[in-house]
Amino acid sequence: MDKSSRIYIAGHRGLVGSAIHRSLEKNGYWNLIYRTSSELDLREREEVQQFFNEQQIDYVFLAAAKVGGIAANNDYPADFIRDNLLIQTNVIDAAYHAGVEKLMFLGSTCIYPKFAPQPLKEEYLLTGELEPTNQPYAIAKIAGITMCQSYNRQYGTKFISVMPTNMYGPNDNYDLKSSHVLPALIRKFHEAKEKNEPSVEVWGSGTPRREFLHADDLAEACLFLMEHYEDNDIVNVGVGEDIVIHELAELIKRIVGYEGEVRFNASIPDGTPRKLVDVAKINGLGWKAAISLEEGLQSAYLDFQNNTFIKK
């Protein structure tokens, strides 16, 4: 990419998209294009086609998606599969027709089978059954991967697919009804501290293991891959280390400064027992994550405290 390339960031206000935006600006890219969902509804095919035809876009980071934790995926499965299929289908197809030089599709490690061997290698895709709690979202993401690969094969496009592990960082979603485990824990411990509550309930048994990647690390990986990778196979992005949820809870508790008890509600499903990605491929290409979990959590908590919603 040239510094003057016209680069469209789909989902620029979200956790991943905003990090990509920051990274592009930091690295000297200035011709950045973005639209809010009210300005451009990516679920509407004609709107998306017109936008691409008018903007003469060179590169696309497709980070726009409907995302959420176990509760949101369980309560709104139709919304998750419909909206994500519409968004990615419209953007990928419009990018092809508009002659976009290269597109990056951001997926998720939930595409891998629930009981796949650990760590998760890229070749494990479609080798077993998915985790039921987020199957509609995962199937939509798998469709996006297949669409990129199919367009590459049939039309000679350069559409690559990146599978980040669990994300956190600035502009995360802290809504307890739709957030993922890490931001939910930050909010729960903060509010319990503010209200001097004796205990905090953590959903699930606390035994699953999860890997967490700071959004700024992912953004740097995305720029690296956009500039250095063109193969048709997917690429995992992660740190290569995971943590037990009960240990994560204790770490966040300490960073927040909460002194009460932590209780686990095992009646709520845990989801996949473990989800650690194999990062040998991207490490072999020359990229490694740089932000430690403790350092990242401290900055995430600071971002949460500065987030205006907690004042409401």
Residue 169 labelled as part of a binding site: no
Residue 150 labelled as part of a binding site: no
Query: What's the CA angle centered on 307, arms 303 and 312, to 5 degrees?
Result: 150
Residue 218 labelled as part of a binding site: no
Residue 11 labelled as part of a binding site: yes
In angstroms, how far is CA 191 from the centroid of its own chain? 25
Residue 21 labelled as part of a binding site: no
Say if residue 265 is exposed, middle or buried (CB neighbours under 10 Å; 0-12, 13-18, 19+).
exposed
Residue 188 labelled as part of a binding site: yes
Q: What is the rounded distance in angstroms from the CA atom of residue 136 to the CA atom of residue 76? A: 9
Residue 246 labelled as part of a binding site: no
Cβ neighbours of residue 262 closer than 8 Å, sequence gap 6 or more: 199, 200, 202, 246, 249, 250, 253
Show which residues are catalytic: 137
Residue 251 labelled as part of a binding site: no
Residue 30 labelled as part of a binding site: no
Helix (H, G, I), strand (E, B) or coil at 182: helix
Q: In Å, how far are 21, 45, 60, 188 from 174, measured between CA atoms?
A: 21, 30, 27, 9
Residue list, annotated binding site? 11-17, 106-109, 141, 180, 188, 203, 210, 270
Residue list, annotated binding site for NADP(+)? 11-17, 106-109, 141, 180
Residue list, annotated binding site for substrate? 188, 203, 210, 270
